[in-house]
Amino acid sequence: MTITGYTGTIYPRSIVEHEGVTYFLGRSAAGERELGIVGPADGFTGSASGDGLTICPCTAENAAALRAKLPWLTPRPLGGQTSFGFGDRIGLATPGHIQALRAAGGEAQIAPIFCQQSVRENTRTGRTPQQVMDDATWGIFQEGWRQPWGADADHVKVVADLPPFVAAGYTFYTIDPSDQVDNAAENDPPERLREKVAALPWGELGTSYEALRERYCGAPFALDGLELTFDEPTLLRALAKYGRAIAHTAAIARALSGQLGGQTYDLEMSVDETETPTSAHEHFFIASELLARDIPVVSLAPRFVGKFQKGVDYMGDSAEFEAELAKHAAIMRHFDRYKLSVHTGSDKFSIYPAIARHTGGRVHVKTAGTSYLEALRLVAAHDPASFRRMLDDAREHFEHDRKSYFLDAVLEKVPAGASLADEELPNLLEQFDARQVLHVAFGTLLTGYGPQIRAVLAADEAGYRDGLERHFVRHLAPFVRAAL
């Protein structure tokens, strides 16, 4: 379709007529994305022509105005649907995410979270929650996506993290109380556990140890295919390990409900970034205590057995993982109020079938940096000189950038850029150590090489979309099959 008076290139899926006005996204001869409006352009800032056409820059103000006109561009809570979080650290991946969903046949089966960024990621990349929201908006508009989608304020650790996400209209909040989890309690002797339990903030918890002992240490809990018996040492360990995390989660949830002023939202509690796995008894205890406090948890992310490391497949005994996953899924079904969430979920191809099978689709899979890695793959192919510099900077800053991440990468196994021929560079994205080193360097590389990366992606938009499609169809396919 052509638009009278428009001389740029139109993204065909973006063209929409709504309430008598036609909207589209185009790219100017200079390569800039721009919003086109045929008809009244009230609320938008742009330049009008004599053909009834207004061309508007892709600003935050125009993104907000477009969301107000086209309601499907506004995120919403997704509840218990099978969902998938697409992290986008650059802001240009949403079209590829949508292409992957369509190619996998997941348009109706999987509820996407296109807008997802953690406080930590925003700090390292210099982006704001509003910028992440707006980037997702333009990508969704470009590809003509009309199904519900969500926006995740990921890894919120304190109440002070909330306001910019609330102001930007996020609908999914992942509370991360991992700093309040007592990892040492995993191996503490009973007398030390009693000391720690006695020191818990019982006023904030709103209960007493005696009440909890009566609730948990009586009759066994009969679940679907699983029976859990709490003795006192098991309860003490669960309390010492997670008691403060539960109180902290409740405090953030109360603050969030107040800031949202009655708006509905999805809430996730995540304890995946801890040093020790969450046992079945601990999962049961956490879920029971959250629900007893009317915390509207939609998903829960335990720390599973094995290693969930960035950008690589599951590391561990897959049979042990599946046996423990079956217990976690039974607990989830018992409470029937939330779904399991799998964090650091990218590239875990060997265990996706088991996750899909045991959860029956009641699952949220969260990925973060894998779309950024696909961008680097394209840079390696199209701009090898810049990629070599990025690789060397990633190696130089690795010890700093790896902080807060659990990694097995060995820096000495990552070659220097000068030692590789051009055709060898893209293959580094398949090498375990290089992949992890590049993964955690996102702050360093996006800060130092953002214009070069974006220039490559703008010059080969189709290549980036196709790369994301190939990569994410492998992620999505097992969950699409499970939903059919």
Catalytic residues: 154, 268
To 10 degrees, the CA torsion angle through 34, 35, 39, 40? Answer: -110
CA 110 to chain centre: 14
Task: Name the DSSP class of 220.
Answer: P
Q: Which two tokens stand for residue 340?
A: 């399991």
Q: Which two tokens stand for residue 471?
A: 């990569």
Q: Which two tokens stand for residue 376?
A: 């680097």
Identify the CA nearest to 426 among candidates 464, 368, 384. 384
Gap between the Cα atoms of 410 and 177, Å rounded? 29
Q: Cβ atoms within 10 A of the Cβ of 157, count?
A: 17
Q: What are phi and psi of 59, to 5 degrees?
A: -95, 170
Gap between the Cα atoms of 93 and 85, Å rounded? 12
Q: Which amino acid is at 135?
A: D
Gap between the Cα atoms of 236 and 428, Å rounded? 47
Gap between the Cα atoms of 97 and 139, Å rounded? 9
